[in-house]
Amino acid sequence: MAIDSRNDFVYSPLDLFVVTAFAAGTTLAIASTAAQAASIRNVAKRVGVTLSAPAAGQVAPVGVILRDSATSPAQTGGATVKKCYSISLGLAAVSAGLCCVNIDEDNLHIPGTAATAMTLEFIGTTGGSTTPVAASISSATLIGYAFPKQPTAVALNANS
């Protein structure tokens, strides 16, 4: 068992969900977990994103957000942004090869809204960042847990 004293969340490693997505080219990686039952919320414990691009390809920054909402482009609106990142490979001075940037942040414990999906995704130009270049590869991983934990049905034996 682990306890996050900031919010009194109690969870077991067996309760964790892990959602990973990969994308190539100008397609954006989106990792999303489904909405929980009423009064149950998703809590992001860890996020990880990676962007790889060829040299002299991805110089402009690319945005990544963690938000309350189902899988769909972030720029459609209506979602609460919980955390945001900007990735820049800074490849203007690199002449050859492949460059990779990785963000891996743990011990977050960011609660979402009850009965709402949670999504970690790269965002495109209308979100204020640049879409990845054609030869890029992106990945997004969202790790978290549901709180409070959904009750488990227990069979009662009348003879005990």
Determine the residue type at 19: V
Task: Report pLDDT digits (tens) over 38-84.
Answer: 888 999 999 999 888 775 555 677 788 899 887 555 555 567 889 98
CB 32 within 8 A of CB 71: yes
DSSP 27: P
pLDDT at residue 21, as a whole number: 94
Mean pLDDT of the chain: 75
Cβ neighbours of 157 (radius 10 Å): 5
pLDDT at residue 127, as a whole number: 47
Is domain 15-147 given the CATH code 1.10.1790 in the classification?
Answer: no
Phi, psi of 20 (to 5 degrees): -130, 140
Mean pLDDT of 24-49: 88
Please, which pLDDT band fits residue 148 given cuts at 50, 70 and 90? confident
Q: Strands 80-87, 62-68: parallel, antiparallel or unpaired by DSSP?
A: antiparallel
The ranges assigned to domains in the chain are: 15-147
Tell me: pLDDT of 117 over 70.
Answer: yes
